[in-house]
Structure 1
Amino acid sequence: MKPRLFYILFLLLPALAQAQETAHVYGKVTGTDQAPIFPANIAIPGTSYGTVTDENGNFELEVPAGEDIVIVFSFIGYRQIRVSRKLSANQRIEINQILEQTSLNLDEVTVMEQYDRTTTITRIDIKTLDMLPNVSGNIESILATLPGVSSQNELSSQYSVRGGNYDENLVYVNDIEIHRPFLIRSSQQEGMSFVNPDLVSSIEFSAGGFESSYGDKMSSVLDINYRRPYEFGGSASLSLLGGSLHLEGASKNRKFTHISGLRYRTTKYLLATLETKGEYNPDFLDFQTLLLYRLNPKWELSFLGNIAFNRFHFVPETRSTDFGTYRNPLNLVIYYEGQEKDKFDAYTGALTLQYRPTDNMTLKLISSAFASDEQENYDILGEYLINELDNRIGSETYGDSILNIGVGAMQDHGRSDLNAFVYTLSHLGTNSSGNNTLKWGAMWRHERIFDRISEWEVIDSTGYFVPYDGEEIILFDATKSKNQLFSNRMNAFIQNTYMIEKDSVRYFLNAGIRGSYWDMNREFFISPRATLSIEPNWKSDVVFRIAAGYYYQPPFYKELRYPDGSLNKSVKAQRSIHFVIGGDLVFSAWDRPFKFTTEIYYKKLDNLIPYKLDNVRIEYAAENIAKGYAVGLDMKIFGEFVPGAASWISFSLMKTEEDIIGDYYFDDEGYTIRPGYYPRPTDQRVMVGIYFRDYFPGNPDYKVHLNLIYGTGLPFSPPGIERYDLIFRMPAYKRVDIGFSKVLKREYSTLKEGNPFRRFKSIWISAEIFNLLDVKNTVSYRWIKTVSSQSGVPGAFAVPNYLTGRRFNLKLTANF
């Protein structure tokens, strides 16, 4: 303390010696994500006037009066801001400055490592999204390269984390919980995710062991904050898959800011590579806006709005798929009639009132509403042939059909619609005092869901309907129901983060508790959670973490619905108890910075609701009849494998199984078999993700971005059977996307008069190759039935449904 006090007095002596009149400037320095920047530098160049911000981003600076001055705000990894002022004697003014992260390559690793290493939260650099080769255009695509995350469908924004399913992930945007559509069966129908990458300022993600301030889901949390602009700007992009436009700006006094984005996307070009040929017309459009007005230094009002229109129209014509084995190669040919027309519209609005009674306290009152209007309409008739292929090498008919082993027809019919309304009122509070940060919150939510389902399937094989009883027509599968659900949820939490330093070792403890209640099943539960981090005073820069907690997931709607469409309103919350041990090490190699992160986890699962997964559709058993576990190891190394370009490699091992309590079946000899534990539908044992960046030596304006994902095969089971333990394995998922980009104008560079790019802040063009190796990845199976068959040939065939093939894309992006 004494040397620090002496240093401050030493800095002030020249100012005192000047004996001139002075004024004062005070305020707060934050990033575009509204997080305080510490310690930011505030100084007047060429003088001794200067200071730094405290841990809350606040500062106060004495400045000379009666003359023009330039105040410089700066911090490593952020763009420097210069503000000109002329103050009168004893005048006191407030300047709240927002600093924006720089886009210089050499700063990226530094910026990435500024996040809080003492939690299980990982911060993702938003600049990695600009040139990422991305089929879906969704921000969630980058998550697939992180350890513990599995996403085996490039058309979908959905993902599973550490053995959980798609419904077990929390997503927040500016403290607003985001909801997904309910009826989507296939990734072809799925539009863009809620998050607009053009508006994002920060991305934080936790794969488990997250704190009590986040809600009641069992697997992960994705926390997004949109940018608060400080001047006019925007961006535009155009590609073969659609385009986007965003505009942002602020008033002269910066009390009012706005940022809005418009996106359009079509996957017609990609769907043309599928084996089912026909007329695909997917059209996805959405508009988002964030409006913010600072009423005074203490009060602030903001509005977040989103409108999404998703349409999918499909007229199938033919399909030809080779499947089977080398010894028994088969081919399926289907001739279609009919069409499918779907609509998935969503509307979100949220109003946030923020009050800062002191510099250390923030209070928020948030009201939000979500509405979903979804419709599925299809009538598709398919007439199919299953043929055996000639596998004799050298034969004149090699690869041709030599024997028909099945002929039939099938008709799929659907008329389903769902309307959901979710109204939420919540309060959030934060108070910082010394080494303590206290957070609390409470929420009330009202839900109204109207659902009508009418789906059936008929299979006719060689004149016989399947199933066949010789007397009447029986539908192979039929679901018909009409439901209404009205309910209320309430929850509250409180947590505290405390730091203590002892013997040069820093300890960070985050502990909190949640309480939740749902009036539908009258269930109340308590969720304690805690994280302890230790930063030892070692020569190596290392941090150790241990986290544990209870994570309940009360049913929303899909978990309540039986396969026949009826509801079980007494379903209880599923529970996952997390145990996470990990740490990270920051080190240098080849004179460049790197960080190695690893976590070992175990999740004890009970009160589980078994489910089956088909493409992206989850069909629940609607009963809490299972228990299970998930155990695994996650590792990631991040750094400059190429000087000035940050990349990473992640590797995961995972095993997740469940056991339906008391289940059994009889084998062919009449013996009772109890299956015990069996793999869950998300049991992916090995996952590898690589995001790699490079540039041409001597010319960094030419860049290469590579995205590689490998995951071992997922389990799947036949439809229409009650057993969950009867499973097979899909082939491994293997995909490589690569992009080549040329920067036509760098930010802050000056071009000659007459150059068409001169007025842009930055502009680049990219050439992308999706699915570089043209691997046929399986997303699901079409089960074809026959009544009778040739000797040794079964009467049911699992025909793979493949994802998209190789495609080339051009993309032009400009910032202004």
Structure 2
Amino acid sequence: MVNGLNLRISSLLITLLLPFWVQAQVSSIVMGKVKSDNGSPIEFANVYVVSQNKLTVTDAQGNYSLDLNPGENVLLEVSHTAHKKESKTITIEAGKIKSVNFVLAALELKGVEIEAKRDRNTTMEPVPIKDIRKMPTIQQGIEGVLTSQLGVSTNNELSSSYSVRGGSYAENLVYVNDIEVYRPFLARTGEQEGLSFPNPDMVGSIEFSAGGFDARYGDKMSSVLDIQYKKPQSFGGSFNASLLGGSLAIESASKNEKLSQISGIRYKSNQYVLGSLDTQGDYQPNFTDIQSYWIYKFTKKWQVEFLGNYSSNNYKFIPGTRQTQFGSINEALRFTVFFEGQEVTSFETFFGALSTEYKPNSDTRLKFTASAFRTFEYETFDVLGQYFLDELERDLGKDEFGEVVRNRGIGSFLDHARNRLDAKVFSFQHRGYKSIDNKYLQWGATWRTEEINDQLSEWNYVDSAGYSVPINPLNEIHLQDVIKGRNTVSSNRLMGYVQNRWNWLLNNEAQISTTLGVRAQYWDYNDETIISPRGTIAYKPKWTKQLNDSTTLTRDVVFRFSSGYYYQAPFYREMRGLDGTLNPEIRAQRAIHFVLGADINFRMWERSFKFITEAYYKALSDLVPYEIDNVRLRYYGDNNSKGYATGLDMKIHGEFIPGIESWANLSFLQTKEDILDDFYYDYYNTDGELIESGFTQNTTIADSSIVYPGYIPRPTDQLVYFSMFFQDEMPNFPRFKVQLSVLFGTGLPFGPPDFERYKDIERYRAYRRVDIGFSYDLMPKVPDTGLFAKFNSALISLEVFNLLDINNTISYTWIKESGGRQYGVPNFLTSRLINVKLAVTF
């Protein structure tokens, strides 16, 4: 067994780590660097010679290399979507290497600033980061700006979790500086989550893909978020403060630019926000995050980086009372609860990564990274609730309208938990990049070891008017949702990928780019190897239209098609069943993506805009069914489901108001699954009626029939989702601006808490939320002297969260009468709140 395992690992390493270094000898090479007029290198610039049908793209340092046939008067051209086109006529001598550099002037098109580092030949889309701090959101992080991306939906303003094209929150990859980061394991509500890992004050760039992404990204089924932190070149920083917390970031660089760093500290308290919830009590949230990123350049070819993070998220809650009114005009109800006890949750995380990068030449870059992640998580609670369910007067003509007319039931419940988790993840990875003429080769390999120790002990007890529910004739006390377990998982993973891109320039100056790659993963816990081929082809036609003798209109369009296998190997939560036990036979879930898209830059109202659309279909198999309770995913722990997700996403982005960027997204989605071994019985009484617990009086069973549910909506099935971020400024008073955020999503599926997925076909009410911010620029012009000469900007904002004061539902509290009838009491999210915020950069 050991020899077989070693042979498997060795074979996989040899296959994945073998880069293609062999390059044919060429007679002539033209190489150089492409820079912007501000001196910064330009990535993804096209360098080409039409007459020889040769094309290449620049790397992150602006370098290029092109094999050409010798000759005189060869026209070498360079183009980039955010810069003016340049060309040079050169003479190429046989067997010689010629250096040709270019400096491109930036286009005066603010509306397409996001194109500055955009590679339109992939599904990775840049996320606009300059407006992160301007967006009126409770999260105060990058989560708000993610709603600007195709296929992203969120239905909980208290949580950093998000769903992409029907996937669960756990199906999204997040990278910071090429290192995968993790969410808390035990979080069950948005109130507990605290601060997410990415620090918005340290972010330099963000890219996002909702599907069809390259093989260089890891093994998740839905999306990838790629974040790169800033690399400072001078001293600077930022300071932010509001009623929800604050942050401070400092960046600096040595005079010789060899050493640079950026460090940030964040503090957040949701106490003010949580006070607007129906459940009143003593909320004591306390969330702190410290990060530091250092870079030292030994030479122009060799540098070392370090990223460190410490995060402490503590949440304590002593509930007092709760009063929720719900129902309809025909049945108005009030749910009142008096609580005893408390809830204490803590997530403490340590993270460190050391990287070294070496560039043996201008075409090759090698990176090695070692990282460690450690999390200590625990949640403890004993909460006793005594409740009253009352019916309200609904006759508008009576003086007692809205008051209690009779009691429907009384009871109590007790929730208990003592859960602790300790997880360690260590990894070592290598990534390589090499430009070869019109090709761009990338490869990588990762070894990762994981150790998870999980202690579970939780249950709840329901007493309805003196009757233990469920009722037991032997007078025994039966607890509900009992989870007991002590699990230890120690495993190793071996991962790797190789991919290459080819760029061609056709005779009509149209461009074709093809990216093909494959990644693989082996996990010794279940002895499973998964192989994921992936590919993308992009076509940029040369479409022009002669408007008159002096004007030619060029249509800037890129068409893309992506497809591939996207396996998601189990981490820990997927392995753990509803009773807390582990399934050693668990397998990787699989999604096959088909994504067809168009990327169009156009002009409207004499301003620049971008329209992106993607249609997709995902074939899903070996799924592990799950249910969502607030933000907690409860997996069934078995690969017994198949399904699909299909839809259409559209986005428009540009200057609806001159000089100010706004965007709007519209998505249509359907995702369903078929649990392969589920069925249930319908029972009929002697009157031929279907017996419904709590409603049917005659419960004598006379007949039955078996029902196979077939395809049912997945927990994230949301037919329509719309998001918009719109900015405006006061006429003749540009210092005063308005930011408006609008979210709308049709209702998600839900059902009673009995873990019978076929019952989860009811729908929440639509998620509707409008947040607005009013900002005032305190420093429209920075003074040349004095104290404020050190500052770059200062902005003060007044924000109104949930402007329309809509009660959005995140989950239900279920109570049951002794007769068996269940009531779902909605748990509402936050109501209207006002926030004041100050943002300063220096």
TM-score category, normalised to shorter length: 0.7 to 0.9
Instruction: After TM superposition, give the deviation of residue 351 of structure 1 in Å.
Output: 0.5
**2:532 paired with 1:500:** no
Evaluate the alpha carbon distance shift between residue 322 and residue 159 of structure 1 in structure 2; reply closer, same or farther with a 3 A threshold: same
Indicate how the Cα distance of structure 1 residues 385 and 718 shifts in structure 2: closer, same or farther if over 3 A, else same. same
Amino acid at match of 1:660: I
Q: What is the rounded CA distance, in whole Å, between the counterparts of 2:206 and 2:582 in structure 1?
A: 37
Equivalences for 1:400-415 in 2 at 5 Å? 400-415=403-418
CA contact (8 A) 2:752 2:759 kept: no
1:519-530 superposed matches below 5 A: 519-530=524-535
Q: Give matches, 1:189-200, under 5 Å.
A: 189-200=192-203
C-alpha change, 1:30 and 1:249, in structure 2 (3 Å) is: farther
Q: Deviations over 1:78-131 (max 9, x none)?
A: 9xxxxxxxxxxxxxxxxx9999x99x9963523436511111111012102131
Does 2:727 match 1:693? Answer: yes
Contact 2:266-2:288 within 8 A present in 1 as well: yes
Matching residue of 1:214: 217
CA 640–269 in structure 1, closer or farther in 2 if over 3 Å, else same: same
SS of the residue corresponding to residue 133 of structure 1 reads coil
Counterpart residue number, 1:392? 395
Per-residue deviation, 1:697: 1.6
SS of the residue aligned with 2:771? strand
1:592 to 596, 607, 614: 607
Q: AA paired with 1:374?
A: E
Structure 1 residue matching 2:112: 3-state secondary structure: helix
2:317 corresponding residue in structure 1 = 314
Distance (Å, rounded) in 2 between the aligned partners of 1:775 and 1:355 = 54
For residues 454 and 211 of structure 1, the distance between their equivalents in structure 2, rounded to whole angstroms, comes to 41
Q: How does 1:781-796 map to 2 (within 5 A)?
A: 781-788=812-819, 795-796=821-822
For residues 376 and 732 of structure 1, the distance between their equivalents in structure 2, rounded to whole angstroms, comes to 31
Q: Could you say which residue in structure 1 is the equivalent of 2:805?
A: 774
For 2:200 and 2:125, the matched residues in 1 are separated by: 18
Letter in 2 for 1:659: D
**1:509 matched to which residue of 2?**
514
Q: 1:390 to 1:448 in 2, by over 3 A?
A: same
Alignment partner of 2:740 out of 658, 682, 706 = 706
Taking the aligned partners of 1:56 and 1:736, their CA distance within structure 2 comes to 39
* Aligned twin of 2:832: 806
SS of the residue aligned with 1:208?
Answer: coil
1:536 aligns with 2:548: no
| Helix, strand or coil at the partner of 1:558 | coil
RMSD: 2.5
User: Aligned residue for 2:70?
Assistant: none
Q: Give the Cα separation in 2 of the matches to 1:666 and 1:457.
A: 27
Deviations 1:312-349, CA, capped at 9 Å, x for gaps = 00000000001112101111000000101110111110
CA distance in structure 1 between the partners assigned to 2:455 and 2:39 by the alignment: 42
Matches within 5 A, 1:154-173: 154-173=157-176
Instruction: Choose from 666, 675, 681 the match for 1:666.
Output: 681
Say whether residues 1:628 and 2:604 are aligned partners: no
- 1:759 CA drift (Å): 3.1
Change (3 A) 1:426 1:98: farther
Q: Output the CA distance in 2 between the equivalents of 1:604 and 1:324.
A: 38
What is the alpha-carbon distance in structure 2 between the residues aligned to residue 291 and residue 34 of structure 1?
A: 21
Counterpart of 1:735 in structure 2: which amino acid?
R
CA distance in structure 2 between the partners assigned to 1:501 and 1:411 by the alignment: 69
In the alignment, residue 510 of structure 1 is paired with which amino acid? T
Q: Residue type matched to 2:217 in 1?
A: Y
**Which residue of structure 1 lines up, in the alignment, with residue 289 of structure 2?**
286
Structure 1 counterpart SS, 2:643: strand
Give the Cα–Cα distance (whole angstroms) in 1 for the partners of residues 227 and 772 of structure 2: 26
Alpha-carbon distance between aligned partners in 1 of 2:34 and 2:269, rounded to the nearest angstrom: 43
Confirm or deny: 8 A CA contact 1:455 1:478 kept in the other structure.
Answer: yes
CA contact (8 A) 1:31 1:37 kept: no
What is the DSSP-based 3-state SS (H/G/I as helix, E as strand, rest coil) of the residue aligned with 1:127? coil
- Aligned match of 1:472: 476
Supply the AA of the counterpart residue of 1:762. S
Structure 1 counterpart SS, 2:273? helix
Distance 1:388 1:34 in 2: 69
SS in 2 for 1:374: strand
Deviation at 1:189, TM superposition (A): 0.3
CA contact under 8 A between 2:276 and 2:830: conserved in structure 1?
yes
Aligned partners of 1:547, 1:490: CA distance in 2, in Å?
26
Mean CA deviation greater in 211-220 or 110-119: 110-119
Shift in alpha-carbon separation, 1:778–1:30, aligned structure 2, 3 A: farther
Q: Deviation string for 1:553-596 (max 9, x for gaps)?
A: 01000001111111102100000000011102211111111111
Rounded to whole Å, the distance in 2 between the matches of 1:387 and 1:417 is: 38
Aligned-pair identity in percent equals 47
Query: Counterpart in 2 of 1:71?
Result: none
Residue-by-residue CA offset, 1:143-163 (whole Å, 9 max, x unaligned): 123331111111111101000
Please give the residue correspondences for 1:73-112 in structure 2 after superposition, counting only pairs within 5 Å.
107-112=110-115
**Change beyond 3 A, Cα 1:614–1:55:** closer
- Show CA shifts across 1:260-302 (max 9, x none): 0000000000000000000001110000000110111211100
Q: Give the counterpart of 1:609 among 612, 617, 624.
A: 624
Q: Structure 1 pair 546/254, CA: closer, same or farther in 2 (3 Å)?
A: same
**Aligned equivalents of 2:808 and 2:277: distance in 1?**
11
3-state DSSP of counterpart to 1:145? coil
CA distance in 2, matches of 1:213, 1:396: 68
Deviation at 1:720, TM superposition (A): 2.5
Change (3 A) 1:38 1:393: closer
Comparing 340-349 with 756-765, greater Cα deviation is found at 756-765
How far is 1:663 from its partner? 2.0
Match of 1:346 in 2: 349
Distance in 1 separating the partners of 2:337 and 2:224:
42
Is residue 463–residue 469 contact of structure 2 (8 Å, CA) maintained in 1? Answer: yes
1:751 aligns with 2:783: yes
Whether 1:357 aligns to 2:360 is: yes
> 2:242 is matched with which residue: 239, 261, 286?
239
CA gap of 1:380–1:518, structure 2 versus 1, over 3 A, is same
Contact 1:39/1:57, CA 8 A, preserved across alignment: no
TM value normalised by structure 2: 0.85
- Cα offsets for 1:180-210 (capped at 9, x unmatched): 1100010000111100000011010000000
The 1:251–1:32 alpha-carbon spacing in structure 2 relative to 1, beyond 3 Å, is farther
Give, in angstroms, the shift of residue 502 of structure 1. 1.1
* Paired AA for residue 534 in structure 1: Y
Check conservation: 1:678, 1:725, Cα contact below 8 A.
no
- TM-superposed CA distance for 1:479, in Å, is 1.0
The CA deviation string for residues 4-53 of structure 1, in whole angstroms up to 9 with x for no partner, is xxxxxxxxxxxxxxxxxxxxxx988699999744779xxxxxxxxxxxx9
Q: Alignment partner for residue 709 of structure 2, among 675, 680, 687?
A: 675
Write the distance in 1 (CA, Å) between the matches of 2:40 and 2:137: 28
Secondary structure (helix, strand or coil) at the match of 1:695 reads strand
Structure 1 residue 477, shift from structure 2 partner: 2.4
Which AA in structure 1 matches 2:619? Answer: K
Residues 691-716 of structure 1: per-residue CA shift (max 9 Å, x gap): 11111122222111111110000001
TM-score normalised by the chain length of structure 1: 0.87
Q: Give 1:488's aligned amino acid.
A: N
Which residue pairs with 1:740 in the alignment? 774
Helix, strand or coil at the partner of 2:491: strand
Partner SS for 2:193:
coil
3-state SS of paired residue (1:559): coil
Distance 1:589 1:297 in 2: 44
Going from structure 1 to structure 2, the CA distance change for 1:444 and 1:98 (only over 3 Å counts) comes to: farther
The 1-side partners of 2:383 and 2:127 are apart by: 44
Three-state SS of the structure 1 residue aligned to 2:683 is: coil
Mapping of residues 562-577 of structure 1, within 5 Å: 562-577=577-592
